[in-house]
Amino acid sequence: MKHLLIIILAIGCGVILFLGNAHWNERTGLSTQKTELETKESGSNTEASKAEAPSNTSKITLEEFEILSKNWPDAAKKQFELSLQKEAPFKIVLAGSEALGNDTNGWAQLTKAELEKAYGTDSLEVVIQTYNGTSMDFSAENKAKELAALKPDLILLEPLTLNDNGEVRIEDSHTHISNWIETVRAENPEAVFIIQPPHPIYQASYYPVQVEELKKYTETNEVPYLDHWTAWPDPQGEEILGYLSEEGDVPNKEGHLLWSKFVNEYFISK
């Protein structure tokens, strides 16, 4: 009887060990399957995220740049290409009087948006700088140093010509421009300048003479000149009034659109 009891206990222990081991294997198998499933799901989610993530389109290739920059000065093209190699943004400064426009409808803001869209914000940065006063004031307040501190690669400059009207002699105005260029290039010898006149106004007499002399100055000094006046209606005719404010001293919305379109077509070839 005693031997029978021992045999029964041994069998019972064996059954308990078997069942316990089977239960453990089942739990372990489920855990392993769960881990593998979670790993697969995680991997799938990662791949899906990669597929759904938008590609970085804020950079431009050299081939794309060569197409868009056909009108650029050669020196500016070279600087942009160097910037691409260094993976640093090429900086354009749009500088001039308040005729550039201070709101989102101003031609400078419109141009900034189009330039950054075309060339990519990782490849190009546009800064807008507006100034009050005449070219003499600009020089007296040492604003050229502030312009140089921006470290521009290219400056599209409207040199306060209209503000100088009746205030600063043409010769003196041109001397100021030359000094500004020297100041900026002392900090960045490779900086490229492009000069443009301010907007036309209705039936002016002396102002067109200033603008014509500004153009001659750029030719003499071999500075690229962006002659957007060719896109405006004749300043002597009433049609020009549709592009100027009621006071006639600054462009209205249509004037800013016209000016921006001209600048955009220069900087962004299609």
Q: What is the CATH number of the domain that holds 119?
A: 3.40.50.1110
Are residues 249 and 183 located together in one domain of the fold?
yes
Q: What is the dihedral of CA 225, 63, 125, 95, to 10 degrees?
A: 0
Tokens of 116: 């950054």
- Top pLDDT among 77 and 23 is at 77
The predicted structure's pLDDT at residue 48:
37
pLDDT tier for residue 105 given thresholds of 50, 70 and 90 = confident
Are residues 249 and 172 located together in one domain of the fold?
yes
Are residues 259 and 230 located together in one domain of the fold?
yes
CA dist., res. 77 & res. 101, Å (int):
27
The predicted structure's pLDDT at residue 20:
46
Read off the amino acid at residue 62: L
Are residues 24 and 111 located together in one domain of the fold?
no
The pLDDT tens digits for 146-172 are 999 999 999 999 999 999 999 999 999
pLDDT-wise least confident of 55-64, 177-186, 228-237, 238-247: 55-64
The predicted structure's pLDDT at residue 81:
95
Are residues 171 and 130 located together in one domain of the fold?
yes
CA dist., res. 191 & res. 181, Å (int):
9
Beta bridge mates, 94: 128, 156
The predicted structure's pLDDT at residue 43:
43
Domain that holds residue 171: 62-267
Q: Tell me the pTM.
A: 0.79
Tokens of 264: 């955009």
- Top pLDDT among 184 and 18 is at 184
The pLDDT tens digits for 112-155 are 999 999 999 999 999 999 999 999 999 999 999 999 999 999 99
Tokens of 248: 């006639």
pLDDT at 263 over 90: yes
- Top pLDDT among 38 and 187 is at 187
Are residues 21 and 116 located together in one domain of the fold?
no
Cα end-to-end span (Å), the chain:
106
Q: How many domains does the chain fold into?
A: 2
The pLDDT tens digits for 22-58 are 443 444 443 444 344 344 444 444 443 333 333 334 7
CA dist., res. 42 & res. 25, Å (int):
25
The predicted structure's pLDDT at residue 59:
81
Are residues 114 and 190 located together in one domain of the fold?
yes
Q: Which of 167, 171, 218 is nearest to 197 (CA)?
A: 218
Q: With 0-12 CB in 10 A as exposed, 13-18 as middle and 19+ as buried, what is 86?
A: exposed
